């Protein structure tokens, strides 16, 4: 069917659109969007969240699995999840492996904090269940989404999964619609700045039916490339190794994958427990920020406003930190019909975003091997890792950044 540039059907509109009003329309229904609508509902603010993807599609997207302490507290304290404590695994540190050995960063000892291994898909399931339990208005599998009049009187149009057209007028619109955000693109060029960084490598990610190879995560740097040994459960493991961004995951046999992983971590004294590989994907790397994170009556949150490379697992944590601040500022904006809190949100969120951009960039460039790395490059990286792990000041920075800066 023909669709005009903003996605409205030109012909064959199934029926007259249903017109409704809400206080906050949220484009996206991933973890950031659902956490936000949950927090807004607790403050007595109405919302509608829509997503192009079905609930099942979102559940089946594998993402990172490490939550900062504040992310765990947000899920527990606001009544979204107890499962995060029951089914998650507390990690009090990580291993940084390089130069033929391994060095533990002791989060508890250095900053008195921990992280929780709990996959993003489970965070999403808990949030979607909580919204359903609380009667939240969440529409998955919608099509033909468009947003208009964002500076004045915002309207979000879409067709629901039954083919019914909708037109939702809202006081404010939140673009929590991921790294390919439609909302982000509605901000005029003259009113926003975009910052990019591409990397000449990607991650080859697998899920393997095997017991854990170590009690905590291993970030392994070696001349054979970076590898990350993570976990999911007692019987399922998540691992990654550095690859070319154009790599085709389907062409790799299990044997070839295991050999590559064993060589990378073997250089630092580890041996992995192997098993059947049940999933394999190539994850591209990119750093991106769009500033400011507001325009008129639109605000951006999570991946729609910023992307970090996955080294250090900041993506979901940053998105949750965004919406914690956004819920506070939106509450002010809605109750006082004032735009000023949106600018305050952008400023508060960006302060954390740039710290996380730096941390993710540093973890990435410190641990990966550049495609044409010289022996000097590799030895310099080992020097950086030794300086960091061999000093309390260096290790404390890493522990603080990894477990998450205090909320502001
Ligand atoms: C994961 O478990 O998927 C994971 C953990 C740590 C990272 C990235 C991904 O830095």
pLDDT in tens, 318-342: 999 999 999 999 999 999 999 999 9
Closest residue by CA, ligand 1 atom 4 = 64
**Cα of 142 vs its chain's centroid, Å:** 22
Give all strands (DSSP E) within 81-128, no chain letters.
Answer: 89-91, 93-98, 101-106, 115-117
Report whether pLDDT(178) > 70: yes
Contacts of 41 (CB under 8 A, 6+ apart): 47, 134, 136
Instruction: From residue 18, give the alpha-carbon distance in Å to each of 21, 39, 348.
Output: 10, 26, 37
Active-site annotation holds for 199: no
Share of the chain above pLDDT 90, in %: 91
Query: Mean pLDDT in the chain?
Result: 95
Spacing, Cα 295 to ligand 1 middle (Å): 33
Minimum-distance ligand 1 atom for the alpha carbon of 64: 3
CA angle, 283 then 122 then 27, to 5°: 70
- What pLDDT does residue 9 have? 47
Report whether pLDDT(371) > 90: no
Residue of 31, 38, 91, 240 marked catalytic: 91
Minimum-distance ligand 1 atom for the alpha carbon of 205: 3
Task: Report H helices in 337-374.
Answer: 340-367
Active-site annotation holds for 188: no
- What pLDDT does residue 10 have? 46
For residue range 265-315, what is the model confidence (pLDDT) as tens digits? 999 999 999 999 999 999 989 999 999 999 999 999 999 999 999 999 999
Q: Which two tokens stand for residue 209?
A: 């039916």
Q: What is residue 80's DSSP assignment?
A: S
Separation of alpha carbons 298 and 183, rounded Å: 8
Closest residue by CA, ligand 1 atom 3 = 64
More confident residue, 223 or 308: 308
- What pLDDT does residue 96 have? 98
- What pLDDT does residue 15 have? 73
Residue of 314, 341, 345, 368 marked catalytic: 314
Contact assessment for residue 30 and residue 181, using Cβ atoms and an 8 Å cutoff? no
Spacing, Cα 281 to ligand 1 middle (Å): 14
Helix (H), strand (E) at residue 92? none
Domain boundaries, the chain: 18-62+119-195+289-362, 93-116+197-286+364-403
List, chain by chain if needed, residues with CB within 6 Å of any ligand 1 atom.
64-66, 217, 228, 230, 238, 310-313
Please classify residue 365 by burial: count the beta carbons closer than 10 Å to its beta carbon, then call 0-12 exposed, 13-18 middle and 19+ buried: middle
Spacing, Cα 313 to ligand 1 middle (Å): 5
Residue of 119, 154, 212, 310 marked catalytic: 310
Report whether pLDDT(53) > 80: yes
- What pLDDT does residue 64 have? 86
For residue range 248-263, what is the model confidence (pLDDT) as tens digits? 999 999 999 999 999 9
Separation of alpha carbons 291 and 349, rounded Å: 10
Residue of 118, 119, 199, 219 marked catalytic: 219
Mutate to test the pocket of ligand 1, among 61, 107, 123, 217 (most ligand atoms within 8 A of CB): 217
Minimum-distance ligand 1 atom for the alpha carbon of 311: 10
Active-site annotation holds for 219: yes
- What pLDDT does residue 14 have? 57
Phi and psi torsions of 159, nearest 5°: -115, 125
- What pLDDT does residue 1 have? 37
Contact assessment for residue 133 and residue 47, using Cβ atoms and an 8 Å cutoff? no
Phi and psi torsions of 15, nearest 5°: -165, 170
The average pLDDT across 393-400 equals: 98
Mutate to test the pocket of ligand 1, among 66, 122, 401 (most ligand atoms within 8 A of CB): 66
Q: What is the CATH number of domain 93-116+197-286+364-403?
A: 3.30.9.10
The average pLDDT across 141-155 equals: 95
CA nearest neighbour of 229 among 201, 198, 203, 255: 203
Closest residue by CA, ligand 1 atom 9 = 64
The average pLDDT across 34-63 equals: 96
The average pLDDT across 98-127 equals: 97
Contacts of 10 (CB under 8 A, 6+ apart): 1, 2, 3, 4
CA nearest neighbour of 83 among 46, 35, 121: 121
Q: Which two tokens stand for residue 183?
A: 């909302």
Q: What is residue 162's DSSP assignment?
A: T
Task: Residue 296: count other Cβ atoms within 10 Å of its Cβ.
Answer: 18
- What pLDDT does residue 13 have? 52
- What pLDDT does residue 226 have? 97
Separation of alpha carbons 190 and 203, rounded Å: 35
Closest residue by CA, ligand 1 atom 8 = 313
Closest residue by CA, ligand 1 atom 6 = 313
Q: What is the CATH number of domain 18-62+119-195+289-362?
A: 3.50.50.60
Is residue 392 left, alpha or beta, with left meaning phi > 0 and alpha meaning psi from -120 to 50? alpha
Minimum-distance ligand 1 atom for the alpha carbon of 62: 3
Q: Which pLDDT band, with edges at 50, 70 and 90, does 4 fall under? A: very low
56-65, 125-134, 162-171, 304-313: the lowest-pLDDT one: 56-65
Q: Which pLDDT band, with edges at 50, 70 and 90, does 222 fall under? A: very high
Report whether pLDDT(5) > 70: no
Mutate to test the pocket of ligand 1, among 105, 313, 367, 403 (most ligand atoms within 8 A of CB): 313
Mutate to test the pocket of ligand 1, among 238, 315, 318 (most ligand atoms within 8 A of CB): 238
Q: Which two tokens stand for residue 263?
A: 């060589």
Helix (H), strand (E) at residue 52? none
Q: Which pLDDT band, with edges at 50, 70 and 90, does 61 fall under? A: confident
Report whether pLDDT(111) > 60: yes
Q: What is residue 311's DSSP assignment?
A: T
Residue of 118, 270, 345, 402 marked catalytic: 402
The average pLDDT across 130-147 equals: 98
**158-165 contacts, C-beta under 8 A, 24 or more apart:** 158/50, 159/9, 159/14, 161/54, 163/14, 163/15, 164/14, 164/15, 164/17, 164/18, 165/13, 165/14, 165/15, 165/16, 165/17, 165/18
- What pLDDT does residue 364 have? 97
Contacts of 403 (CB under 8 A, 6+ apart): 68, 69, 107, 111, 113, 114, 115
Report whether pLDDT(206) > 90: yes
Spacing, Cα 310 to ligand 1 middle (Å): 7
């Amino acid at each position: 069917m023909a669709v005009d540039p903003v996605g409205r059907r030109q012909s064959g509109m199934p029926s007259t659109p249903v017109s409704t009003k809400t206080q906050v329309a949220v484009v996206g229904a991933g973890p950031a969007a659902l956490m936000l609508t949950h927090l807004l509902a607790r403050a007595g603010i109405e919302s509608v969240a829509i997503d192009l993807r079905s609930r099942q599609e979102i559940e089946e997207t594998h993402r990172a699995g490490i939550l900062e302490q504040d992310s765990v507290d947000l899920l527990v304290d606001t009544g979204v999840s107890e499962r995060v404590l029951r089914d998650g695994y507390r990690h009090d540190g990580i291993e940084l492996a390089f130069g033929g050995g391994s060095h533990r960063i002791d989060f508890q000892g250095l900053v008195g904090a921990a992280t929780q291994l709990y996959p993003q898909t489970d965070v999403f399931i808990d949030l979607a269940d909580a919204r359903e339990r609380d009667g939240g208005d969440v529409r998955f599998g919608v099509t033909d989404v468009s947003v208009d009049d964002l500076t004045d009187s915002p309207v979000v149009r879409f067709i629901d999964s039954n083919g019914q057209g909708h037109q939702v007028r809202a006081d404010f619109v939140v673009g929590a619609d991921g790294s390919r955000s439609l909302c982000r693109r509605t901000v005029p060029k003259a009113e926003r700045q975009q910052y990019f960084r591409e990397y000449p490598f990607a991650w080859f990610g697998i899920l393997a039916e095997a017991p854990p190879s170590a009690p905590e995560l291993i970030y392994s740097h070696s001349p054979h490339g970076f590898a990350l040994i993570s976990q999911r459960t007692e019987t399922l493991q998540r691992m990654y190794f550095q690859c070319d961004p154009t790599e085709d995951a389907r062409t790799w046999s299990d044997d070839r994958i295991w050999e590559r992983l064993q060589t990378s971590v073997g250089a630092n004294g580890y041996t992995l427990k192997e098993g059947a590989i049940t999933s394999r994907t190539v994850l591209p790397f990119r750093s991106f920020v769009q500033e400011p994170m507001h325009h008129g009556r639109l605000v951006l949150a999570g991946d729609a406003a910023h992307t970090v490379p996955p080294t250090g697992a900041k993506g979901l944590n940053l998105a949750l930190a965004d919406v914690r601040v956004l819920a506070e500022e939106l509450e002010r904006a809605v109750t006082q019909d004032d735009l000023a809190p949106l600018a305050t949100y952008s400023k508060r969120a960006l302060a954390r975003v740039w710290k996380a951009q730096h941390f993710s960039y540093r973890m990435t460039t410190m641990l990966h091997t550049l495609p044409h790395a010289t022996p000097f490059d590799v030895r310099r990286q080992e020097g950086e890792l030794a300086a960091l792990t061999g000093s309390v000041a260096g290790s404390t920075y890493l522990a603080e950044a990894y477990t998450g800066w205090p909320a502001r």
